[in-house]
Amino acid sequence: MHFLRCSVETKRIGNVRQAMQPEYKGRRFRQVRSLIQSDLYRYAGNVRFGSFMRHYLFTPGFKYSVVMRLCGYLKGRRALKWALYPPLKLLLLRYRYKYGIAIPEYTRIGPGLFINRFGGVMVNGDAIIGANCNITHGAMLGQLNRGPNAGSPVLGDDVFLAAGCKVIGHIRIGDRAAVGANAVVTKDVPENGVVGGIPAKLISTKGSEGYINNRVAPDCADGFRPHPIRNSAPRSERYRQGEPSDHSSAESPAPRPRSRA
């Protein structure tokens, strides 16, 4: 898992990187701007001002992400904490109740957050979310207060959470994993794993490939940039560009002869 180097200190425990408490006081505005640009790129495929305004005005998930990122930045700035943080926090609370998205501003989230639709998105503030993660409506990252898995979930990079899924406790969702709709996850999920059911069980190792588009580089400490591996265009865009579908050959099939009466 990758996080902004200047704002989050990390250490490796086994095969999982645990993020420590974010250093809000050391975060600069250009770093927050890079995070917002990375989120915008996930939605629009570019970081143009027109795309920013369009998605901020008409895309609830992106609008919430922008205000959430800014709240986390202002909370750690001594000069701005008492002047700009309170009204922006009130705006964040308004969006929480309006759109049904509850992600605290102090949650440790990597670049490229994509909130697909809105309503019923609940994330515990102690959860950790990696880069290029998709969260769909009805998804929840919840805390478990007792037992061996007490704590909050840790998500790797390129994780896809389908509609209505629940991830509960201090469990680890590996990189490029996918959680099926309405699944209840109470155990660790390996890299490239696909889980589903109640309780969730491993049903595939195809991972989240095809569901995470417009990826960004997981480390944006030096500024936003797209992922070095070329992002695949959505299927509808490939059709518009004239590329054949996955279930057809490049050549058009010969027309079937019509039978005469």
Domains, the chain: 24-106 (no CATH), 107-213 (2.160.10.10)
At 231 the pLDDT is 56
Closest-CA residue to 48 (of 221, 224, 233, 222): 224
pLDDT in tens, 2-46: 444 433 333 333 333 333 334 444 568 888 999 999 999 999 999
The closest of 146, 141, 90, 145 to 120, measured between CA atoms, is 141
Q: Are strands 201-204 and 194-196 parallel, antiparallel or unpaired?
A: antiparallel
Residue 92 near residue 104, CB atoms below 8 Å: no
In this predicted structure, what is the pLDDT of residue 118? 86
- Provide the pLDDT confidence category of residue 226 given band limits of 50, 70 and 90: confident
The pLDDT mean for the chain works out to: 81
